[in-house]
Structure 1
């Protein structure tokens, strides 16, 4: 005897309607149960010529077989046939004749059958599949199914990946459905030479079903969901919920009562201890999903961390020793980078060898799953960014607060010194070059107390060794390979260009001045050069943004406020001509003796 539960909402754990139907196995019309799963579309099942359609050529058939072989889905027909062979005639007809089943068959939605172990749920599911297949042949309504099986030797029938692979193999290659999406996935994975991840297979299933005509009903049967791995059941339920948002979808699920009971146990425990903290609940669910057995989940429920801080501390403690340096490096970048860290650049970050001061030639494949092997999804998540590129970011603002407060980020003293021989090589082998060029000075500025090592690093960067920095500083110019970039290799040109940068560079200017840079050095250049402002003071006065501190530093160091040259003629004209006018700088220059009547450029 099984308990029949008919759901009409997406809230799987809160059914609208619960009906117990007493055992009605006898007295029903005879039903023929065929052991041949025609039309299932499953891997290894043979379709009839009529079902495939006479217009499908041999070449396309071969292509479809190649795609099915590539997907490599577990074959659910073996479970179907095994159940058919054990059943007697008339088994389960009371279910398919029930008004609730008939309503679901015609209207769609979710039909969830629950019962104790050994109550015949698999036989009832198999009867329903057979009935719908006969119905589908007459009215053109495809039927797909999957049996979770804890006795499966390969283990694939206990996993979410096995389910989506099977459904993709059945739905994506069925003669009544568009094959475009599954063929596209096949091509995207090097014509079947690489495996597709589960999320990509799920998306392909959804995209294929979205292309169905509104009148095209799709029936999906999932038997014994309680035999799915515990840590995969959330994904299965999410798949069910997402599929139910599509039109004309009919989903039939069977499971034991205990599966739902565990979910209710989790719900009750979390609600009792949450104290209104949604983030705390979210973190606990993420952690519980990583556990593989009911026993482990129940044990974890008894030892839940009491606060969000405890959760974060536990997640950091769980980072494997082999990944701790990588995790620290990634967290530093995520915490303090002025730009979001793209997932493709995360590999570049980890390729930096600080001990050897070079970029490794190899790159690890940092997929989303691999990143979460380094740092838990409680701490970081992968989110969409600009131009469909994915970014690695902190899972919640509270994570940043925790890391900063606990000094896990080790302050803003982040630096990566890398030996690079040319701009071309840097850009090809080290895509973070652009970020380094534009933001390194801002990171230095954030350091409150430069130690000897940091000072030495900054001065090394400013030496124009091998003319590298000279060229890299011109990188953002339209003609960054032009020969008209400044050619001097002295600290004077470094001072000039540093002042011209449109970012806070006070610390660097101070270091250069202390190192003996000439604050009154006049540099030549023009529209296509990199010394259009003539001298450091004019460059600082003209720069967009509030550069008053740098201008004052130069004036205090003896810069001539009336020095002539460059695009604007003098610093006062440069400040006045700046975007929106640098009024504070104008006043500072006038107080320092700037001649308001001096001829401009």
Structure 2
């Protein structure tokens, strides 16, 4: 008792303010996301120690002792039990927090991958600038209400600046409330912008819409599957437009259960109508297809109605059911009056205008506007500059107001102070053509760069504070988070600056042409990089990005502006760019800020200096054709040089290297300049390099060629060119299959590729079947692929069953139903491996698709008794483990064998163990003659990893007790099962029961935060445990310690014919569940659950 009292005191001390519980609580409060796994494990270990102490004390308390000391101990233990329960709750709660955090992180990662921007940013920007109460004329109109109810398409058109974007934001605001009231409805939107004209807008649009639809769990699951397929080093190829289009179509289809799906698309006319890229026509085709195919989808889109939107007019003419609303002067009149009235009242000068004069002034402005909100806004900018509210001054401004928008812009340019006209012109140029939004500090820096001067930036030219912004009032506006960014006030500003009319105006110095302007920005970026690198203030760290505000932009986009400059302008910069690429340490510094080969945040890893071997390789990768031509003439030997340099990054020498260095070290790419150009899709550079003498069939370290890279990227035009230029099609068909391009596969097969070729242990048809590309499977079969060809396996003893040896098995592994049906229709033989995979899946267990495939295989005559080898269960046992009782009975009716006297145990005891989840199925198997105590043979899982201790039981009674199947336990005992048979994994039936109870309570059922549901679940587990325990007691079960240790050498060699129970031994060898651990898992449950 003294020893026990000391033990209680030790435990009691752990509850004090300085004890374990207090420390644990303090630690959990201090730990921040993400929670460390090691901390969780330490807490659980300490908790298990406390459980052991509790077990020892409870065993004493269960004796007949009646002394006062025992009562004191009981009080101590009661308090200790409460503390431990609280600690368990704390650990459980933090486990849930960790799990939720990990899930949330994964969700954010997936959503950021599908569309990296905030899909609500442009909407919030427009909504914040929309005058409250406007657009009610539209929201209450017949066309809108009919569209919201039943209409598939609604086109809102109007002239430039009439307020179409604000109307869209009003519609979104209205539909948000409407969809909240109608909880099943879904609202998505996308705002096209001229600022994104250089980007693949159709892809961005559909990606944004798909991301917003991920509020639906089924859509999110589909996007996660897309993420697994196309993200990271395992991606078969980059994600393309048609992939997003198919995924979005699938998402819309699965949302048919929703009441309605609303899609709002603003400023469709700002999407480029490039005849080579078909950007606008792609979106128009998608709109028509979706509106035609799905009745639950409603699409509203806006655009201008002028000569630049003629294709939109033609498109609308092909859809008779479309509704059209035109924004004109009468539509906007009340909104304009409300807006102007509020602006006058807001101004500390204009709010003094008398009421009757105010009304007359507002009506005059509205009459002059022609329904153009933007024009009205720009005139208000001029009116707010008045020093006093004299009516004659207001009247003068009204009479001198420019009648057209272009005239208004001219007046604004004329008002810019002549000393800042050059800076203002450069700022407008950068804002018009920048490839991402620019911060105010970046604009102030860009407008003082003089590429021809030395230095390129004079310190006396710097602009402080607001800088150039006050000069550009009306032409530029603040935007973005905290208004740190600048943007042109409207699309029409850029149109005006590049117009023909401005060329002949007195303000022509502000105009520009895109090609020459991009060239100027590219030159400014390169000279700015040189300026920063040579500066005494450069540190080589992230501090440089603050010291030199435009440095990150310059390193990231200089070459893209050079590409956009076009042929002649690019040639003029070739020498400057070539010098930068050959500048050694300076170029390494640039790649630390932005590396095109491994894009990352600037200075993310100072130890990583990944570079290509020659400047020619960089020029080819960056897409600089003029520089490639120049370097190929200067250094012809570089044409044939492998560009990638193997390196062991210093970063990897630390304990936790960054992920990029890890991937680069183990998965290095390799190739010539020609292959780099093919990798990044620069077709014109590929052509030039071949013309300059590059070897078209040169192979990299892993056998890659320019053709194989083009096939993997799905670049059909480049594949055609390479084949026409003499590229060998041998060995590249697999890359085309992984690129999922049927057309490229046909091109290669027509050029001489062999459909049935085996390359590096891969057969084309198997690869296509595993990827579920049934269209490519059909092409391969049409070109002579053998549907039953097997991969040659040298040693079946070491063969991994996770590798498919035939196409049908490959399709079955991944649940590809359509491909399975295609292969069967073409005469595929059903091997045992295919049937087995239909019952197990590959990694995460069988899905509904696998179940359907299993039925298909059975209907097509699959052998119910295939020889799967010495280590695996029969298909019938697999079906029973899945709980697929209908399939199991079908198998039996089709001849699946059950043999009570089977010496291997696979056809008797193993099947009985697999059936314990069903009383009826267990009864049927017992009725065939299988003994209730039939021994089993140890087996491995065919594919997915179920816990071996949960399936390899010595007897069916142990399995039924572990899983808590009361009825099955009673049935087995009634049929003569012995409850005292000893054997793995838990030693006896009694301890199998306790181990199963522990596992169920700790790992199965509702989450800990669902307290009531968790409590009810634990109670049900307890009741089942007590029922089984009482039944076992009635049958004379012995309360014995586990039988001892497990001989693992015997376990590993346990095969057919060696009964699982025969591997018990008296040797004191370690095993996964020793007596001490078992006491924790089973003994504690015994005391807590059975005797409570």
Question: Structure 2 length normalisation: TM-score?
Answer: 0.29
SS of 1:365's equivalent in the other structure is coil
1:132-211 correspondence runs (5 A): none
Query: 1:329 and 1:568, CA in 2 relative to 1: closer, same or farther beyond 3 A?
Result: farther
By how many angstroms is 1:373 displaced?
Answer: 2.2
Conserved 8 A contact 2:574-2:626: no
Q: Which residue of 1 aligns with 2:374?
A: 279
1:485 lines up with 2:618 in the alignment: no
How many Å separate the matches in 1 of 2:720 and 2:550?
A: 39
SS of 1:381's equivalent in the other structure is strand
1:49-198 correspondence runs (5 A): none
How many Å separate the matches in 2 of 1:306 and 1:360?
A: 41
SS of 1:420's equivalent in the other structure is helix
1:442-453 correspondence runs (5 A): 442-448=560-566, 449-450=568-569
Q: Which residue of 2 aligns with 1:195?
A: none
How many Å separate the matches in 1 of 2:632 and 2:356?
A: 72
Q: Which residue of 2 aligns with 1:191?
A: none
Q: Which residue of 2 aligns with 1:364?
A: 463
How many Å separate the matches in 2 of 1:299 and 1:322?
A: 28
By how many angstroms is 1:429 displaced?
Answer: 2.2
By how many angstroms is 1:444 displaced?
Answer: 1.2
> Gaps (5+ residues) in structure 1?
1-9, 12-231, 241-254
SS of 2:368's equivalent in the other structure is helix
Q: Which residue of 2 aligns with 1:307?
A: 404
1:260 to 347, 355, 363: 355
Q: Which residue of 1 aligns with 2:476?
A: 380
1:535 to 672, 675, 680: 672
Bigger-Rg structure (1/2): 2
| Deviation per residue, 1:351-402 (Å, 9 max, x gap) | 53542234456863333xx5442212x21111225xx553211111111110
1:496 lines up with 2:617 in the alignment: yes
SS of 2:402's equivalent in the other structure is coil
Conserved 8 A contact 1:533-1:568: no
Which deviates more from structure 2 when the two are superposed, residues 583-592 or residues 511-520?
Answer: 511-520
Count of residues paired in the alignment: 342
| Deviation per residue, 1:540-568 (Å, 9 max, x gap) | 1122xx42222112112111011122455
How many Å separate the matches in 2 of 1:468 and 1:336?
A: 26
Which deviates more from structure 2 when the two are superposed, residues 564-573 or residues 420-429?
Answer: 420-429
Q: Which residue of 1 aligns with 2:548?
A: 430
2:532 to 390, 403, 420: 420
How many Å separate the matches in 2 of 1:308 and 1:575?
A: 48
| Deviation per residue, 1:62-107 (Å, 9 max, x gap) | xxxxxxxxxxxxxxxxxxxxxxxxxxxxxxxxxxxxxxxxxxxxxx
1:547 lines up with 2:682 in the alignment: yes
How many Å separate the matches in 2 of 1:598 and 1:482?
A: 37
How many Å separate the matches in 2 of 1:498 and 1:453?
A: 15
How many Å separate the matches in 2 of 1:263 and 1:485?
A: 67
How many Å separate the matches in 2 of 1:324 and 1:284?
A: 22
Query: 1:366 and 1:533, CA in 2 relative to 1: closer, same or farther beyond 3 A?
Result: farther
SS of 1:519's equivalent in the other structure is helix
SS of 1:528's equivalent in the other structure is helix
How many Å separate the matches in 2 of 1:452 and 1:548?
A: 18
Query: 1:450 and 1:350, CA in 2 relative to 1: closer, same or farther beyond 3 A?
Result: closer
Specify which structure has the higher proportion of strand: 1
Query: 1:348 and 1:371, CA in 2 relative to 1: closer, same or farther beyond 3 A?
Result: closer
By how many angstroms is 1:331 displaced?
Answer: 0.5
Q: Which residue of 2 aligns with 1:459?
A: 578
Conserved 8 A contact 1:347-1:366: no
By how many angstroms is 1:452 displaced?
Answer: 7.5
Q: Which residue of 2 aligns with 1:597?
A: 730
SS of 2:479's equivalent in the other structure is strand
How many Å separate the matches in 2 of 1:319 and 1:336?
A: 21
How many Å separate the matches in 1 of 2:620 and 2:571?
A: 23
CA RMSD of aligned residues (A): 3.5
SS of 1:436's equivalent in the other structure is helix
Conserved 8 A contact 2:619-2:625: no
How many Å separate the matches in 1 of 2:445 and 2:674?
A: 37
Query: 1:596 and 1:507, CA in 2 relative to 1: closer, same or farther beyond 3 A?
Result: same
1:509 lines up with 2:628 in the alignment: yes
Conserved 8 A contact 2:580-2:587: yes
SS of 2:704's equivalent in the other structure is coil
By how many angstroms is 1:510 displaced?
Answer: 3.2
Query: 1:451 and 1:525, CA in 2 relative to 1: closer, same or farther beyond 3 A?
Result: closer
Query: 1:537 and 1:381, CA in 2 relative to 1: closer, same or farther beyond 3 A?
Result: same
> Gaps (5+ residues) in structure 2?
1-131, 134-339, 504-509, 647-662, 733-758, 761-1092
SS of 2:487's equivalent in the other structure is strand
Query: 1:302 and 1:236, CA in 2 relative to 1: closer, same or farther beyond 3 A?
Result: closer
Conserved 8 A contact 1:471-1:480: no
1:561 lines up with 2:696 in the alignment: yes
Conserved 8 A contact 2:696-2:727: yes
Q: Which residue of 2 aligns with 1:328?
A: 425
How many Å separate the matches in 2 of 1:306 and 1:531?
A: 63
Conserved 8 A contact 2:445-2:550: yes
Conserved 8 A contact 2:479-2:487: yes
How many Å separate the matches in 1 of 2:511 and 2:384?
A: 27
Query: 1:506 and 1:350, CA in 2 relative to 1: closer, same or farther beyond 3 A?
Result: same
| Deviation per residue, 1:420-475 (Å, 9 max, x gap) | 326547534223222222221121122232287534432332322x5211331353
Which of 1 and 2 has higher RCO (CA within 8 Å, sep 6+)?
1
Q: Which residue of 1 aligns with 2:394?
A: 297
How many Å separate the matches in 2 of 1:296 and 1:366?
A: 32
1:6-45 correspondence runs (5 A): none
1:393 lines up with 2:487 in the alignment: yes
By how many angstroms is 1:509 displaced?
Answer: 2.6
How many Å separate the matches in 1 of 2:644 and 2:369?
A: 67
1:237 lines up with 2:370 in the alignment: no
1:343 to 432, 440, 449: 440
How many Å separate the matches in 1 of 2:668 and 2:370?
A: 61
SS of 2:492's equivalent in the other structure is helix
Q: Which residue of 2 aligns with 1:521?
A: 641
Query: 1:456 and 1:393, CA in 2 relative to 1: closer, same or farther beyond 3 A?
Result: same
How many Å separate the matches in 2 of 1:553 and 1:430?
A: 37
Specify which structure has the higher proportion of helix: 2
By how many angstroms is 1:522 displaced?
Answer: 2.1
Conserved 8 A contact 2:426-2:446: yes
How many Å separate the matches in 2 of 1:572 and 1:455?
A: 28
How many Å separate the matches in 2 of 1:286 and 1:511?
A: 51
1:573 lines up with 2:714 in the alignment: no
How many Å separate the matches in 2 of 1:572 and 1:454?
A: 30
How many Å separate the matches in 1 of 2:511 and 2:561?
A: 14
